[in-house]
Amino acid sequence: MTNPPNRNGLPFAIYLVLVLAIFFYGWWHGEFSTFWFAVLFPLGAWLVALSIRPIALGNSVGRVVFVLAPVSVTLGVVFYFWLLPRYGDVDNDLLRSLLTGLLIAVGWFVTFLASEYREEAQREMRRIDTLVALRAEISTFVFKLDSYDILDSAKRQQDLIRAGEVLGDGTTAEYMPFSIRESQPIVYGPVSSDIPILKSETVQAVIQFYAEYTDLLSAIEDTRNTLVMQLSRERRVKLHAVLSKRRERSLRSGLKAIAEIDKELPGSEPVQLSDRNRSIIEEQ
């Protein structure tokens, strides 16, 4: 996955061209004052740095500006003494000191920038790995939830609870629906510490899915409780309706989470869904 283009590069490049045009015009005609050099050169250096930095490092702009401020001022002072006609009047010891300070400042900045790029690259790898892992697990759960018609199954099960189950000898017995336990999430826990690096919309959708899915697991355990058999038929119908509603919400929230993940992870294979739960999916 590649980073989106740096949309700030164009305006910064335009500003930089204007700054350099003013600078070279004044230098060529010998009308470039100390004041304008001190103002425009640090600004130009700052704009260059912001123009060439990838958008993925946008959160580090504050730290970069903090570093660039002293570096830019140092460059402005040194080149002012170097390029302008007053260069010849500068004491050689002072010039050597300024050049030494410049090299130290530039080396410090280059080291800092290399560290920023390395940290950002590692952060990007963690982000992609987190998205891939979450998408794989959520897709698996969605596929299983879509393996049968949730609404049709709920209606048939609840009708049987109300009417009772007709046995082979013609007698009627209480019908107790049995729900198979669903798989527990195994990915969410290990990658949960990296979820905050995702986009806020993705974080919200992922957390909502796992919250709905956890509620579904709890509802399944509730229906397997032996105390449920002692409830009236109507109360068991209501309990089963809650279970079915949580299946619906889990399916919807899972599809929404996958859609948000795919916005950050383009090129992913679409989830293969059946037509069994079309009415639920179309409510997305």
Average pLDDT of the segment spanning 203-232:
90
d(CA 113, CA 108): 9
Distance of CA 126 to the CA centre of its chain: 11
Q: Where are the alpha helices (DSSP H) in 30-91?
A: 34-52, 61-83
* pTM for the predicted model, two decimal places: 0.64
How many Cα atoms within 13 Å fall on the side-chain side of residue 81?
17
What is the percentage of the chain residues whose pLDDT exceeds 70?
Answer: 61
Helix (H) or strand (E) holding 166: strand 165-166
Look at 114-118, 129-133, 200-204 and tell me which has the smallest mean pLDDT: 114-118
The pLDDT, as a whole number, for residue 26 is 59
- Is the pLDDT reported for residue 6 higher than 90? no
Question: Which of 76, 130, 119 minimizes the C-alpha distance to 101?
Answer: 76
Of 151 and 28, which is predicted with more confidence? 151
Tokens of residue 6, six digits: 């740096």
